[in-house]
Amino acid sequence: MKLTKDQINDIKEQQAQNNKTKRVTAPELEKILYEALPALDHGFIRVVDYMGDDSSIVQSARVSYGKGTKKVSTDSGLIKYLMRHWHSTPFEMCEIKYHVKLPIFIARQWIRHRTANVNEYSARYSILDKEFYLPNKENLAAQSIANRQGRGEVIEGEQAKKVLELLKSDAERTYHNYETMLNQRYDGTTIDENKKGLARELARMNLTLNTYTQWYWKTDLLNLMNFLRLRADHHAQYEIRVYADIMLDTLKRWVPITYDAFMDYRVGGTEVSAKGKIVIQKLLNGEDVNLTDSGLSKREWNELMEAFQIKDKIV
């Protein structure tokens, strides 16, 4: 990731602010506020604003006047209870805003989470940066045979080299044509004084999906955790998972008690259906139970066995 001098100066100016407030703050999050945290080759995530902390969740749950209780252990117990029993509204009382630079194809996947306020960089108004995402060789993989939306074995050797060359050449060629249609180069200079440039809203349409875009993404804590539960999972696409992992760290800095409960009950925990519960009860009682008699599909059965690491029962 490379920032321009103007971007670096803007960040320094933001971090140099010394505003007084009566609102609660998260000291660990304050340490990285406004900082551009690198993601992929040219991307980043910045926390630019937030509201509330763990005590705000407790305050909301109890509808009290002040912060939470004096004892962290008591607040922790309540937050764990809320998480364990899926009480959602207290977590909606905290909000966070990120500035994200990401490839367009990841932005289109990300926007499927429709529970945030988003304002994206306008290619109708400004010229997009000449930056494209190119994966590392270890992240070039063939289509998975078992999963239609996933990756299989890593592509290596000459084939990997050829794929990277195609990605790079296609991106550079379309960006060159983008500049030609605009009649304006990336640095702002005019290409031909005697020609008119095509409208930016039209010229942008031939750009490749690995071109970088930027947006501000504001959401509440509940929906941030819903996003991270899916996108920080090992099944998620690698590129969006990179961003989710960085956001997990900001979650830990912001609301550490909630983070621990989230990792315990949402990330590390598992959901069991009524039929699955009967299967586990029978296994605990030493009874013989199999897929045929369980009433579960093969996929449900295997997911249940994997969740409880009963490997000899996987079929």
- For the segment 14-38, the average pLDDT, to the nearest whole number, is 94
Quick one: CA torsion of 180, 186, 192, 195, rounded to 10 degrees?
60
Summarize pLDDT for 286-307 with one digit per residue, the tens: 999 999 999 999 999 999 999 9
Res. 21: pLDDT tops 70: yes
pLDDT of residue 140: 87
| Topology of the domain comprising 5-127+210-267 | Gyrase A; domain 2 (3.30.1360)
List all residues 6 or more positions away from 43 whose beta carbon is below 8 Å from its beta carbon.
Answer: 1, 100, 101, 102, 103, 133, 212, 242, 243
Q: Is the pLDDT of residue 121 over 70?
A: yes
Q: Is 263 exposed, middle or buried (0-12, 13-18, 19+ CB in 10 A)?
A: middle
| Nearest CA-CA partner of 229 in 263, 273, 254, 272 | 263
Q: How confident is the model at residue 151 (pLDDT cuts 50, 70, 90)?
A: confident
The reply to whether 299 belongs to the active site is no
Nearest to 240 by CA among 108, 132, 138: 108
The predicted pLDDT at position 4 comes to 84
Amino acid 106 reads I
In this predicted structure, what is the pLDDT of residue 232? 95
Mean pLDDT (whole number) for 107-131: 94
What is the predicted pLDDT for the residue at 300?
95
Across the chain, mean pLDDT equals 92
**What tens digit of pLDDT does each residue of 36-65 get?**
999 999 999 999 999 999 999 999 998 876
CA distance linking residue 302 with residue 313, whole number of Å: 8
**DSSP 3-state of 196:** coil
Q: How far is CA 263 from CA 80, 136, 152, 233, in A?
A: 11, 29, 28, 11
Q: Which range (16-20, 27-31, 61-65) has the least confidence?
A: 61-65
Query: Greater confidence, 300 or 152?
Result: 300
Which residue is catalytic, options 46, 204, 231, 253? 231
What is the pTM assigned to this prediction? 0.91
